[in-house]
Amino acid sequence: MAILSKKVYLDSSVFVAFIDRAHIKYDQATAYFRYFALEEYQLFSDPYTLIDAYNRLYNDISPSLAKDFMRVMALSNITMVYPEESDVKNALKAIVNFKTTDLTYPKALLSVLANRRGVPQICSFDYMPALFGLSMFYLPI
């Protein structure tokens, strides 16, 4: 199966797993980032995702590591996507119209931002409801 796009939207769970060497998904997260670098993928994220990753690192590991994470993100080539008013409203509409309670606002906003920017894949270790035809990123076998 050929992948048409080399764009991937990153969730906070991938950042946390990559930073925390004791995380159960650490090896998989390092494989993801190694693959992204070798295949020259364009990576996207948003400020809300960074805040979530920062808070998880701050509370679960240490404030200094969380600060180092933010320092690295400031120097990285990950494209930051900033939500506009229409993105916020579309995320709210998605939550209201979603049939189950599995969809949270941060996941809805992430999906709206990825869809609006033409990013077809989301890389996450958490549950992601299927919205807008977006798919989860998996390493090719």
* pLDDT band at residue 12 using 50, 70 and 90 as cut-offs: very high
Helix (H, G, I), strand (E, B) or coil at 103: coil
Q: Where are the beta strands (DSSP E) in 1-141?
A: 7-10, 42-45, 79-80, 121-123, 135-136
pLDDT for residue 1 is more than 50: no
C-alpha to C-alpha distance for 123 and 127, rounded to whole angstroms: 11
CB half-sphere exposure, 2, CA atoms < 13 A = 1
Residue pLDDT, tens place only, 16-49: 999 999 999 999 999 999 999 999 999 999 999 9
Give the pLDDT confidence score for residue 141 in this predicted structure. Answer: 67
pLDDT over 80 (residue 95): yes
Q: Exposed, middle or buried: residue 128 (CB in 10 Å: 0-12, 13-18, 19+)?
A: buried
* Location of structure tokens 């008013």: 85
> What confidence score (pLDDT) does residue 129 get?
80
pLDDT score, position 132: 81
The reported pLDDT for the residue numbered 98 is 83
pLDDT per position as a tens digit, 57-75: 999 999 999 999 999 999 9
Tokens for 35, please give them.
């693959």
Report the sign of the C-alpha dihedral through residues 30, 34, 39, 41, in that order: positive
pTM: 0.88
